[in-house]
Structure 1
Amino acid sequence: MKTLKTIGQFLKVNFKEIFNYMGAALGGGVLGMVVAFAVTLTLSTEEKTGYVTLGTVFGLGLVAILLIFGQSLGGQADFYVTVSMNRARMSYLIGRYLLLVIDVLGALAACFVVNVLEMKVVGPALAKGNEVENLLGKVSPGLIAGIAVVLPLVIIFCTAMYVMFERKFFWAMWAIYMIIALGGPRVSSAMKKSPESIPAKIGEGLHAFFNMGTVPWIVIGVVMLVAFLVADVIIYRKIEVKM
């Protein structure tokens, strides 16, 4: 009963953060649609070939940064408070996991709203009869469930790494972010302009990886779920905190 009470208190105190992520998704979506509208204004009638769902991409991108980087690094404070108040670490772990699942589902729901708005209203209005390209593509309920279940475990694992290695892990996370932010556009451009280049080959490999099919992704999801669950439980039981 004490464990359930602790988990309930943790969720009650932090539940409002879900609205931050939903707001970020909607805000990013609006920004993306404004950018798309501005680009449309600069193009001549002959150049206008359609509309791409930039709002959805902006919303997902902003939420991903806030969840993965913000929660991974910001969760350190919650863990310190838990330890300082002599609360059970497993209660914290379960409570934070449930909270992150709610955050992820709320953020994805907001991104879905943005996507529907673009596909049904904004896209057709700006495309002027041309094609509306959905950059989000077809997302299955299984993929959404997989992200909601596995991503929180990854974030919790990253928090543990930050508690243990502090600035070293921060700079490692920053390096990963910069590689994705700077390398992504280069790879995308190379795939169109220089198909034989190394960045283009990397892009083709990533495209093949992310389009393996349902069964391989189920296997990968289960493996990641078990691996990060076991790792999180072991690490949070033994981790030493420098107060």
Structure 2
Amino acid sequence: MKFFIDTANLDQIREAHNMGVLDGVTTNPSLMAKEGISGHENVAKHYKSICEITEGDVSAEVISTSFDEMVAEGETLVKLHPQIVVKVPMIKDGVKAIKYFTSKGIKTNCTLVFSAGQALLAAKAGATYVSPFIGRLDDVSTDGLTLIEDIRLIYDNYGYTTQILAASVRHPMHIVNCAKLGADVITAPLSAIVALLKHPLTDNGLAQFLADHAKASEKIA
């Protein structure tokens, strides 16, 4: 399973890259705003900076909601760097735009997916990635992981090559469960990825090893 980090923070992207686990980056207008990035030129420059850190795909989201405007915006985004993937919302014109981009050999990420039917449409249109938002489904008392399971079944039934990119990941067990269910990719905040490192038995064991080493060193001295 690939690990993407969901952020526009360059320091966090570097940290994930330096851990050796980073396969790509997803961003959106909200994450850009959180980092104080605004204006077309600054946003474009920031995307280029992200692409310089990771060797993987970088999802750049369109702001437009009409077909013609999404196409124009997406074509501008992909000119920024070969790693750019055009992130398109799951709406009627978005599906049309995905079909267009696919015909041009442009990678796409269909975002804001909340049902298996939506994921099926995205795959038929040729999306490179489909992003089911599991955390947001959990927020409304719906099991987001069930959606991952349903999409995996449908894609396997018909041999769709669209990759399931689990999004709105909130905690490490989301990551583990998505891996068990066969998600191709997860995108998560750095905190959720780093949390996979933690286990009390690891901490206790390391503390014991260090304490024993210190005692042995004292005896030798």
- Taking structure 1 as the reference length, what is the TM-score of the superposition? 0.22
Which has more helix, going by share of residues?
Answer: 1
Which has more strand, going by share of residues?
Answer: 2
Query: Which structure's relative contact order is higher, taking Cα pairs within 8 Å and 6+ residues apart?
Result: 1
- Taking structure 2 as the reference length, what is the TM-score of the superposition? 0.24
